[in-house]
Amino acid sequence: MRTAPTILHLDMDAFYASAEQAAKPSLRGKAVIVGGLGPRGVVATASYEARVFGVHSAMPMAQARRLAPNAACLTPRFGFYRGISEQVMALLRALSPLVEPLSLDEAFVDLEAGGAARDEESARLVGVALRADIRSVTGLTGSVGLAASKMLAKIASEQAKPDGLVLIRPGTERALLAPLTVRTLPGVGPATGDHLRRAGITTVGEIAEAGEDELVRLLGKAHGQALYTMALARDERPVVAERGAKSVSVEDTYDIDIHDRVRVGTEVQRLADRCVRRLRDAGLSGRTIVLKVRRYDFSTLTRSETLRGPTDDPSVVREAAARLLDSVDTTGGVRLLGVGVTGLADYTQEDLFAQAHLAAGAAPAEEHPEPDAAVEPVREEPPAAAGPVWRAGQDVRHTDYGPGWVQGSGLGRVTIRFETPDSEPGRVRTFRVDDPGLAAADPLPLVAAAEERSAAGSGG
């Protein structure tokens, strides 16, 4: 393990919720919850104002609304978040060629590889400058951890939250880890934590004291040895430059189980088209089509079909997904559907016609494990419906009133708040959902607002 704290871990603070607050002046300083808004929706993230009420990620949205009834609940805008993420990742890549993104809002950076830092003081200065640059460019805040290993840098950034910087000096790691709960270590979830607790082990220090043999007896060789090594603050994992996506996928959870087989087929076709759009946006093609079906009893089935070569043709993906659906029994109802593409490449097979129309050119459908995580978190969308569907938080523009966002909709009406990232909190107006002057719009950039807030801060 290195002798200087030159591995940096950045974690943006309440990223989705903070981005929404920056984009919507009326929500700044208020409780904001981002996630699926249907009966089965879950919280993706919550602002710190909402966390005061006990709201946290992965919580059922219904429970979050009970805890914070006055919070603004918004559907995610992943395209908007991705744009901000690209700005942040560009700042990280300016520091080092070794940047390992973990998600849209989190990444490791090897500061030694880029020559940005070689000792404690230079690493700290880089961390301070990075946080200032992020605030200047995006208007958002991020927490930075600095340490001699990835595990410790991540622990440090967690301790730095929100909007802080923590540096762990080499040589102090074991003393810092000893009193922390065992759940602090990577790979220790609720089940492992309970197993260790029943054995009288609740802190990282007690893991180290128990010894490797006891950990192996309790957890098995691989897990026990790994946990004991981490408890001794040993982590030799290198920062790995950005890894390409292993799969691209989309899926929808439905508020009411779908029983009609024709409707299921229509939804699969729609998902296939969305998946291809995402594939093309990433400049990729793929060779294996994957269908995911979660049935009424929560059982999840996946099927896959491997083509002769990679494709990004929507008709090819639609037809493959339809063939896969033919092998799945949807009797009883479906609560979730997903379509994914794996075996990614940055080129497309030329013989698309043969792939689309010659079933013999495809391998038979087979059982398939869960596909890798999607390029972005899964979006919960209601089924297609007649007429416009307006979702809370969605960007819109009105011919008379300009840009705004959907505050809520129902009973044939939609309420819009007209404001921009660099305006004062705006007025609210209500329209019919089919108002001819109202249209969906692209998100407005945060740059102007960020520069204005940065200038105001420097003047103070």
Catalytic residues: 106
C-alpha to C-alpha distance for 185 and 151, rounded to whole angstroms? 8
C-alpha to C-alpha distance for 66 and 315, rounded to whole angstroms? 44
CB 417 within 8 A of CB 404: yes
Contacts 24+ apart (CB under 8 A), 62-65: 64/33, 64/35, 65/33
- CA-nearest of 140, 145, 165 to 84 is 140
CB-based contacts of 59, cutoff 8 Å, min separation 6: 42, 43
- State the DSSP string of 29-77: TS-EEEE--STT-BEEEE-HHHHTTT--TTSBHHHHHHH-TTSEEE---
C-alpha to C-alpha distance for 277 and 79, rounded to whole angstroms? 13
CA distances from 200 to 205, 207, 225, 303 (A): 12, 10, 18, 43
Residue 162 three-state SS:
coil
- CA-nearest of 414, 386, 409 to 398 is 414
Residue type, 46: A
C-alpha to C-alpha distance for 385 and 207, rounded to whole angstroms? 55
Which residue in this structure is represented by tokens 């946080």? 131
- CA-nearest of 15, 6, 12 to 34 is 15
CA distances from 256 to 174, 217, 325, 336 (A): 51, 46, 20, 10
Its sign, for the CA torsion 449, 457, 85, 112, is positive
- What are the backbone dihedrals phi and psi of residue 308, each rounded to the nearest 5 degrees, phi first? -65, -30
C-alpha to C-alpha distance for 64 and 456, rounded to whole angstroms? 34
Q: How many CB atoms lie within 10 A of CB 443?
A: 18
- CA-nearest of 39, 234, 37, 38 to 147 is 234
